[in-house]
């Protein structure tokens, strides 16, 4: 079996592969740049990388694509499914890491940690201390847009520090909201206007692109904060920067960008009251190992002809390739 990796997974993931496979590590995010290697590859494992229709269709022997993470917007899942190629994902492997990161951003903003540190460097100790911009999270209402595994885990942390929780998720039943003692909203725009903190946990799809733009930001309280540890493009970056600079909302934290790495002229890089991190929420030591090992195991099972359950589009198993295989 031949595996292609856009970047090497961690040692634990490589060890899971064993010694009886051929592994080509490209150190390049676009498989179109090494189609000669792709033409006889059985498996492709990507991290933050592009895998488009052209690369998939040019890889005649490709049987599985592995994505170390939950988001798969950088992979053309439709093109893969059309060829009966499962796109393996790793739900749950980074849940705790991303939830902790979202809460860390909330604390950093609510305590004004970044501005405080920068102003100490600038010799403005007394001035920044006297701003009184910090506030307590206990008793504040946090609203979650998206209540999948990461949203639920983040909610647990927030409850533990005494926050009131609410959520919007059109795919979650009323009984599920009651079970986790989270107030349910049927309209995310109403959630925006009612909450002190908003935390976003949705995939980037047609329905969620720019779902938070100026119209929605203006519905929020002037004292409110928005956190995005999901995908760049869910929040309109130009509108968010303007909302921060004009005092429409009080602060923001983002781990993701529409273009990664962000260009130097990205307005968020010079916006007020924002904490930025380099799409690193899921990059804890523990999560990286979990994702790599789970991804490799999934790819191995698919290559054995088994229907691994954690794939981007389960309908892939309706493809003639799989029906023929399971006769």
Same domain, 69 and 110: no
How many other C-beta atoms can be found within 10 angstroms of the C-beta atom of residue 212? 24
Same domain, 140 and 30: no
Of 67, 101, 201, 231, the active-site residue reads 231
Instruction: Write down the pLDDT at residue 325.
Output: 65
Of 11, 259, 260, 286, the active-site residue reads 260
Instruction: Write down the pLDDT at residue 235.
Output: 98
Report the run of H or E that residue 145 belongs to, with start and end.
Answer: strand 141-145
CA distance 91 to 81: 19
Can 260 be counted among the known catalytic residues?
Answer: yes
Domain count, the chain: 2
Same domain, 260 and 292: no
* In contact, 51 and 76? CB cutoff 8 Å: yes
Which residue ranges of the chain lie beneath pLDDT 70?
325-327
Q: C-alpha distances in angstroms, 268 versus 51, 68, 77, 261?
A: 27, 27, 30, 12
Same domain, 152 and 227: yes
CATH of the domain at 38: 3.40.50.720
Burial of 19 (0-12, 13-18, 19+ CB in 10 A): exposed
Can 231 be counted among the known catalytic residues?
Answer: yes
Instruction: Write down the pLDDT at residue 69.
Output: 84
Report if pTM > 0.95: no
CA distance 72 to 123: 45
* Residue 230 is assigned to a structural domain of this protein: yes
Instruction: Write down the pLDDT at residue 229.
Output: 97
* Residue 164 is assigned to a structural domain of this protein: yes
Same domain, 84 and 133: no
Interval 176-195: pLDDT, tens? 999 999 999 999 999 999 99
Report the run of H or E that residue 25 belongs to, with start and end.
Answer: strand 22-25
**Can you give the residue range of the structural domain that contains 127?**
103-276
Of 279, 301, 319, 321, the active-site residue reads 279
Can 321 be counted among the known catalytic residues?
Answer: no
């Amino acid at each position: 079996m031949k595996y292609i990796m856009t970047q090497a997974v961690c040692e634990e993931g490589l060890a899971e592969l064993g010694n009886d496979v051929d592994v080509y590590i490209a150190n390049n995010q676009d498989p179109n740049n090494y189609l000669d290697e792709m033409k006889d590859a059985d498996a492709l494992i990507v991290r933050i990388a592009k895998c488009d229709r052209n690369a998939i269709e040019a890889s005649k022997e490709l049987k599985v694509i592995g994505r170390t993470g939950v988001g798969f917007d950088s992979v053309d899942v439709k093109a893969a499914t059309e060829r009966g190629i499962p796109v393996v994902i790793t739900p749950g492997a980074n849940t705790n890491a991303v939830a902790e990161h979202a809460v860390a951003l909330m604390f950093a903003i609510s305590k004004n940690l970044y501005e405080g540190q920068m102003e100490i460097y600038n010799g403005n100790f007394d001035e920044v201390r006297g701003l009184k911009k910090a506030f307590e999270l206990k008793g504040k209402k946090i609203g979650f847009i998206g209540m999948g595994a990461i949203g639920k885990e983040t909610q647990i942390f927030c409850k533990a520090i005494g926050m009131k929780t609410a959520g919007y998720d059109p795919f979650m039943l009323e009984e599920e909201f009651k079970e986790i003692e989270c107030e349910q909203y049927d309209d995310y725009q109403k959630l925006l206007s009612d909450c002190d903190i908003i935390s976003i946990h949705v995939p980037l799809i047609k329905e969620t692109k720019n779902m938070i733009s100026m119209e929605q930001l203006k519905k929020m309280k002037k004292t409110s904060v928005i956190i995005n540890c999901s995908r760049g493009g869910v929040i309109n970056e130009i509108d968010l920067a303007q909302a921060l600079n004009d005092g429409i909302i009080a602060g923001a934290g983002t781990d993701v960008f529409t273009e990664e790495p962000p260009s130097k002229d990205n307005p968020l890089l010079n916006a007020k009251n924002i904490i930025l991190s380099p799409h690193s929420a899921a990059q804890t030591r523990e999560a990286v190992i979990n994702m790599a090992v789970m991804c490799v195991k999934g790819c191995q099972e698919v290559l054995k002809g088994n229907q691994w359950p954690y794939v981007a589009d389960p309908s892939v198993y309706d493809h003639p390739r799989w029906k023929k295989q399971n006769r």
